[in-house]
Amino acid sequence: MPGHPSVAPAVVPVFASDTHRRHAPEREIESSAFQVPYEHPGRADAIRAALASSPAFDVREPPQSSRAGMGDGVAATHVAAQLGSRCFETTTPLTEGTFAAARSAVDCALAAAAAVEAGAPVAYGLCRPPGHHATESLYGGYCFFNNAAIVANHLVAATGTRVAVLDVDYHHGNGTQQIFYERADVAVVSLHGDPARAYPYHTGYADETGAGKGSGMTHNVPLPAGIDDDAYLVALDSALTVVAAHDPSIVVVSLGVDTFVDDPMCDLALTTDGMRRCGARVASLGLPLVVVQEGGYADSSLGSNVRSWLLGAASRFDSHQRSPSPRG
Ligand SMILES: [Zn+2]
């Protein structure tokens, strides 16, 4: 339920771990050439600094989750064979510290979910590496464990209710879609650059709507190049109508800010203030939000873009609201 404008906005719990720095590849391969990675530790450090400088956020270390078996079970022994059985493309660097970093991202996501379960109307997991391209068994697209999907799966099990994932990253969240494609308990709604021109190219088209028990639970909104704040908000509003129609108890937001006008990888034209408007619009659903970080590569604006989105969301909840009312 949106808060009264005269009441102070809720302080947003933020979960961040410096363990992400253990995933620090020196180079990545793009178009058959080495380049400095777009996805690097400075991203999460910039977001953390931007949030820590504002009293609107309470930055905490996440507790370590108890999924110790994650990553076990590869049968092949040669490293090349193991890689081939675990990744869907070759541009995502894997390093000695990647597992620890990816685990810490899951911890951040699950801690944000726990904060919402405990009554916070909105909480944020500063997940790095990101997650939404990771499928049930394959890494790729800078993603290793699907933080948003792990949270959604946890919330369904913990609450016995339906959950929605709203993915606003520029790129289609192929992993999240794959994981829930045949499930009736998690709706997946994604806005992204049209895969006819944008990574991951093979998924994210409007005619992918789920299968089996999950028929009608997947909704893709491919976007044209160059759209600005106003045009994006029109698309977001229609996506939010779809989210609401599924009547979820909680919304997991895959927050990519690579929709930003100056993002070096992408071709939409959102502004920092547009991010605020998007956050406010999503929060106006009146549902608790577990927000997890996905992409965003415009380094100098990354922190302010994430902060703007979260402040927009928090502005819809007041500081006395321990447990948001059901959507009404
Ligand atoms: Zn992205």
Q: Which among 124, 53, 52 is positioned nearest to 312, based on CA atoms?
A: 124
Predicted local distance difference test score (pLDDT) of residue 326: 42
Which one of the listed residues 132, 133, 172, 219 is annotated catalytic? Answer: 133
Nearest to 93, CA basis, from 150, 170, 178, 27: 27
First-last CA distance in the chain: 7
Strand order in the sheet with 250-255: 57-60, 12-15, 122-125, 289-293, 250-255, 163-167, 186-193, 218-223
- Measured in Å, residue 130 CA sits from the centre of ligand 1 at 9
Give distance in angstroms: CA of 62 to centre of ligand 1. 24
| Structure-token match 């363990």, residue found | 19
Q: What torsion do the CA atoms of 85, 91, 96, 98 make, to the nearest 10 degrees?
A: -90
Q: Which residues pair with 219 in a beta bridge?
A: 189
Instruction: For residue 296, give the nearest of 124, 202, 198, 171 by alpha carbon.
Output: 171
pTM of the predicted structure, to 2 decimals: 0.91
- Helix 147-159 / helix 98-117 crossing angle, nearest 10 deg: 40
**Residue with tokens 């009736």, as numbered in its chain:** 184
192 noted as active-site residue:
no
Q: If you measure from the C-alpha of residue 15 to the centroid of ligand 1, how many angstroms do you get, rounded to a whole number?
A: 21
Chunk the chain into consecutive blocks of 10 residues (it has 328) and report each block's average pLDDT, rounded to whole numbers.
58 97 91 89 97 96 74 63 81 91 98 97 98 96 97 98 98 98 98 97 97 98 98 98 98 98 97 98 98 98 98 84 44
Q: Which residues contact 18 (CB under 8 A, 6 or more apart)?
A: none
Which residue reads 């895959």 in tokens? Answer: 254
At 260 the three-state DSSP class reads strand
pLDDT at residue 327, as a whole number: 40
How far, in Å, is the centroid of ligand 1 from the Cα of 318? 31
Other C-beta atoms closer than 10 Å to the C-beta of 141 total: 28
* Residue-level pLDDT at 7: 64
Residues in CB range of 300: below 8 A, 6 or more apart: none
Residue 323 CA to residue 328 CA, distance in Å, equals: 14
Tell me, in angstroms, the distance from the centre of ligand 1 to residue 288's CA: 23
- Look at the alpha carbons of 113, 115, 121, 127 in this order and tell me if their dihedral is positive or negative: negative
For 260-265, which contacts have Cβ atoms below 8 Å and span 24 or more sequence positions? 260/296, 260/298, 260/301, 260/305, 262/298, 262/301, 263/170, 263/296, 263/297, 263/298, 264/38, 264/297, 264/298, 265/38, 265/170, 265/295, 265/297
